[in-house]
Structure 1
């Protein structure tokens, strides 16, 4: 049912507005649409027709879903035009108003309103709307007394070229995204450069804030899938330098700028440039925020600050940072569980793991597959630490069944190597310090010079190594981090 993901995508404020709309427009005391809405937003999606009608009633339920979906679309659309609107909507409002004024022969007001739309569109680099503005200006050219027809044509032509550049960029994004989806293990930087060359796009000349954000997002997603941020570091830094050259546009493109800061802070963290990462996080936190951006900014700054603290020998500070935040998201909670494992407090970590109420399938849709896999690995570690034997073997079997093939297809050999090492250690604890196991351990994570171990995977490596060498896990992690930072072969 498309109604389920639609309702689940609404934030709390949007849900409240939908409920208010339904209450105002319902007739004859019919509240079935409200019942359906409340069931879905609370995650109760099984046999909804029976819950609402008291018996199976597929046809009536289908009609109810369609009506509710139309109601939600109406509320979301109306909400986008109210309050603090986006730049595009402000421009469109002025453009549409000017056309109405022209039709009513209110020419001075029409020209003034159309000019306002043009100024806004130029300010925010909205080339498609500018095309409509110039179309209107040319249509009513006799009323544009302060500009010659030749000058107007030149402006329209210049904007059309900018619009076509942006259109080519959109074609590039589509081609790059398709390429990465078909082959997620390919070199994303090379793919982007080949696509730009093919479509004759010059990065420095044509990239807007939105374009830079989209490119960095794709680079970051590819690096995440490949567990290799070092490969994209130089190209991402090049794009970020373009962002810094456009500093005078920051206030006009806050949404994209804040996301770019967050993406770069994560890239710097994953490539062990901790000072650079923390510096960007400070900028992100101190930025004057539109309320609509505050939620993601808070989560990203808390999460990335905590991760930087963990890997710079400030574990207690990371735990304090995570415990004191008012946000309790899956990402933050899982990171806190990791902290407790590093602190050798598995019971506290287990309490957090048990708070994840949804299925792995649900978390995979809401977050992603790699997050679900890491959650399962952390759960496995906690079960081993707490000596829950039956649950450990059950978890091993479940993990291989659900993720084994998908990990192989995604090229995540290190995760599979980790699980094999853990099983070898757990099956034969008396041989945990054998030379064979030590050799397998040392060659499993840190031996590939072409692909440095991802910093987050080092935590798993440190845990199994601490068991084999009988050392404190957090100290092993810090030593491993020093080794990989100093050794140029990794």
Structure 2
């Protein structure tokens, strides 16, 4: 049922109607229930027993299970046919040109054959289809002796250039996969690895330079690699110039529907990078561009990116002194189901943070109640950094609500589970932060003393606040606010605008 539901959730409203029409055309009997089942799955979150009873007046039925299997197969067939019509239409058209040209070549009709191959080459070049373009050059070269108008040497040069681009794209694909695997070890399994050293080693191993002129997809992969590096080190200021310069280069290339998915990914990376560097107005401008791209091709990728776009927009609004707008934007999404679990978890934790900064602790606790899985479950899906932020947020809430048992129980559990990891990763500031938080909880009056303030400032001294991670400052703002007895949200914004 989960697999069936997840496929249906990816369909736009228009595609859902097309699928219903597709089913109705296939149905040979008037009593087929596949359309009913599809509509129930598309419009409700009922479980299998409830839906089975709605269709067959019983909670268990072999006919229901058979119906589900047939609907699943119909969805696969519909999706495959749709992709053949849309996504691969250019590929199929070029392949048809190549096949037709080869027929004319065998018939010695060289003039027509090479005209068709030229048209195929232009299309393949526009859509960066290196493998297909190689087939075109292969065919052209094979028959050059029969058609003297062709410059063989020029053709060989073009073929070699294309092969190099294809090789580079393949190499980058391997590099990207390796780095994602390393990221998984760091982020989801808690392994401590020198990511920057690994990045340099793998790029050198594959003879790749970050300033190489690349295809659309390859350029996205390099930006994604840079983004991974920044997410590990939290040094987004180091990649901003490179990311923006790369996108400027990208926009000089021909824009095609084939490249839309990667363009959306890149614009999201830029918006996120600018947000993490506290350039909120600039980030919001790229979010507008992101939304415009999401609506292209009849909103084909809208569902894929709606949570990411909403999360980054809400975060920008929150730190731009527009917290009410940020809350209004995301609070209705926290109960939604989506395949992008990692971003959904980010939305929920951000909503918790907004409520907490606004001193609305009851609503914050209601968000916390949604996190009912184990730490291992969340680590696998959201990453170890997410679970640490979640646990720290939880501890601060228990302090504000003065829930002694829960605070000390969670504090003991956190220290036992994460102390060694944080020390190995060089994140001892988190352990120091908890010491201050515990000290405040035991004796709140000490927070306003000169000694407490002085110790706090020296302990959390950083080179420059502009280079410090925005979320690290947000946690520190809670302690800082306790020494001033002010408004947490205003204290946070003041620290970020020093």
So what's the TM-score if we normalise by structure 2? 0.72
Unaligned runs of 5+ in 2: 48-58, 335-343
Residue 472 of structure 1, CA deviation: 1.9
Alignment RMSD (CA, Å)? 4.9
Residues 1:328 and 2:333 are matched in the alignment: yes
Q: 1:294 aligns with which of 299, 302, 306?
A: 302
Q: How does 1:33-182 map to 2 (within 5 A)?
A: 77-82=80-85, 85-86=86-87, 89-98=88-97, 100-101=99-100, 114-139=117-142, 147-174=150-177, 176-177=179-180
Unaligned runs of 5+ in 1: 46-53, 56-60, 484-490
Residues 1:374 and 2:392 are matched in the alignment: no
Deviates more, 1:401-410 or 1:417-426: 401-410
C-alpha distance 209-443 of structure 1, shift in aligned 2 (>3 A): farther
Deviates more, 1:457-466 or 1:178-187: 178-187
Give yes or no for contact 1:121–1:127 (8 Å, CA) kept in 2: yes
Deviates more, 1:282-291 or 1:461-470: 282-291
Residue 146 of structure 1, CA deviation: 6.0
Give yes or no for contact 1:98–1:109 (8 Å, CA) kept in 2: no
Give yes or no for contact 2:331–2:351 (8 Å, CA) kept in 1: no
- Equivalent position of 1:349 in the other structure: 364
Residue 342 of structure 1, CA deviation: 1.5
C-alpha distance 190-461 of structure 1, shift in aligned 2 (>3 A): same
Other structure's SS at 1:376 match: helix
Other structure's SS at 2:165 match: helix
Deviates more, 1:468-477 or 1:340-349: 468-477
Give yes or no for contact 1:98–1:111 (8 Å, CA) kept in 2: no
Give yes or no for contact 2:284–2:316 (8 Å, CA) kept in 1: yes
Residues 1:223 and 2:234 are matched in the alignment: no
Other structure's SS at 1:251 match: coil
C-alpha distance 69-473 of structure 1, shift in aligned 2 (>3 A): same
Residues 1:274 and 2:280 are matched in the alignment: yes
Give yes or no for contact 2:240–2:274 (8 Å, CA) kept in 1: no
C-alpha distance 200-43 of structure 1, shift in aligned 2 (>3 A): same
Residue 328 of structure 1, CA deviation: 0.9
Other structure's SS at 2:301 match: helix
Q: 1:261 aligns with which of 242, 247, 267?
A: 267
C-alpha distance 76-357 of structure 1, shift in aligned 2 (>3 A): farther
Residue 218 of structure 1, CA deviation: 2.0
Residue 241 of structure 1, CA deviation: 1.0
CA distance in 2, matches of 1:43, 1:409: 44
The structure with higher relative contact order (CA 8 Å, sep 6+) is 2
CA distance in 2, matches of 1:259, 1:164: 23
Q: 1:212 aligns with which of 214, 219, 222?
A: 219
Residue 158 of structure 1, CA deviation: 2.7
Give yes or no for contact 1:319–1:336 (8 Å, CA) kept in 2: no
Deviates more, 1:274-283 or 1:257-266: 274-283
Residues 1:237 and 2:241 are matched in the alignment: yes
Residues 1:395 and 2:449 are matched in the alignment: no
C-alpha distance 461-24 of structure 1, shift in aligned 2 (>3 A): farther
C-alpha distance 332-176 of structure 1, shift in aligned 2 (>3 A): closer
CA distance in 1, matches of 2:293, 2:215: 20
Deviates more, 1:440-449 or 1:272-281: 440-449
C-alpha distance 204-79 of structure 1, shift in aligned 2 (>3 A): same
Residues 1:307 and 2:315 are matched in the alignment: yes
Give yes or no for contact 2:98–2:120 (8 Å, CA) kept in 1: no
How big is each residue's C-alpha offset from its partner over 1:27-71, in whole Å with a ceiling of 9 and x where there is no partner?
9x999xx99xx99xx9999xxxxxxxx99xxxxx9xxx9999988
- Equivalent position of 1:51 in the other structure: none
Give yes or no for contact 1:265–1:304 (8 Å, CA) kept in 2: yes
- Equivalent position of 1:50 in the other structure: none
Other structure's SS at 1:246 match: helix
- Equivalent position of 1:416 in the other structure: 431
Residue 477 of structure 1, CA deviation: 1.5
CA distance in 1, matches of 2:182, 2:426: 17
Give yes or no for contact 2:217–2:262 (8 Å, CA) kept in 1: yes
Give yes or no for contact 1:17–1:75 (8 Å, CA) kept in 2: no
Aligned length: 470
So what's the TM-score if we normalise by structure 1? 0.73
Other structure's SS at 1:147 match: coil
Give yes or no for contact 1:337–1:349 (8 Å, CA) kept in 2: yes
